[in-house]
Homo-oligomer: A and B are copies of this chain.
């Protein structure tokens, strides 16, 4: 078998070899098409001999949709990568495919989104990146649903969103920190324009002040390691030093732990409490043992999938995912 002649044999080639019509070939490769078993077998045999593969581009052209989902993701974040992993697995389960762009964090993702539209993707998923309102409107007009996860403007026309319960989660962190005996606090923020960072700060601060405690010292860590190092140095060198520091992401919290330990020789937990947000794998590593408010990835994916499969883009517009406190050693004082 496989004595191919052209690099990409067509349904026509197969039809000729099998002695059937080209349409029959099409049917043979379509589940639930009415075709006699005998013909189907003839077709498969011929197809096999030629190394035929249905051209999905042609199929997509007719169907008006490609079976591909566009993904734009900010590269360097571990949490986003975890979501991407899980999402990818989920997609192959339902026979869809992933057209992926990574985007340098800060700038808006209009260019990649534009490219995705030209490929007629069935939907666009934004992971940890922002899109402009203009672009969002265009997607809406083209009837391409766009779903933003994490760090995205809410209430944008045509953009569904999935987020962690930033406010509530941060309040849980605050409560936990206080229960552990810490009394003065710091907050390490992401970029100022990040909705997620704003909400986490708000939830954290609100709980503190509601108890008559002072608002946290703050520094901006930009959601990445380099920025977090800077911010950590700033936060940890204030006098008096905050007794516990809440970082807007685990990734930044990890960086802070390293600065505290290796540059300032502080005992994590006892001399300075550290908490993060997201629940990335590394947080659970014994080395870090980081207290965090974790957003279960499976839950994110669980909410994502129906939005992609259903034809109604109007179902759950803004979903908030409830996470869970993971109390660990980084907030243990003794």
Contact = CB atoms under 8 A, between A and B. Distances in A.
B120 A100 contact: no
Contact of A66 (B57, B75, B117, B288): B57
A97 interface: yes
A85 B89 contact: no
A57 B286 contact: no
Interface residues of A, number: 48
Contacts of A98: 99-101
Nearest to A144: B7
Contacts of A7: 141-143
Contact of A88 (B58, B81, B100, B258): B100
A36 interface: no
A118 B55 contact: yes
B99 A97 contact: yes
A4 B85 contact: no
A290 to B, nearest CB: 12
Interface in A1-47: 2, 4, 7-8
Nearest to A63: B57
B4 A141 contact: yes
Nearest to A262: B286
Contacts of A318: none
Interface of A: 2, 4, 7-8, 51, 53-58, 60-61, 64, 66, 68, 75-76, 81, 85, 88-89, 92, 97-102, 112, 114-115, 117-120, 138, 141-143, 257-258, 261-262, 285-288
18 contacts: A4-B141, A7-B142, A55-B61, A55-B120, A57-B57, A61-B61, A75-B88, A75-B89, A76-B85, A81-B81, A88-B100, A89-B102, A92-B101, A97-B101, A97-B115, A100-B100, A258-B287, A262-B286
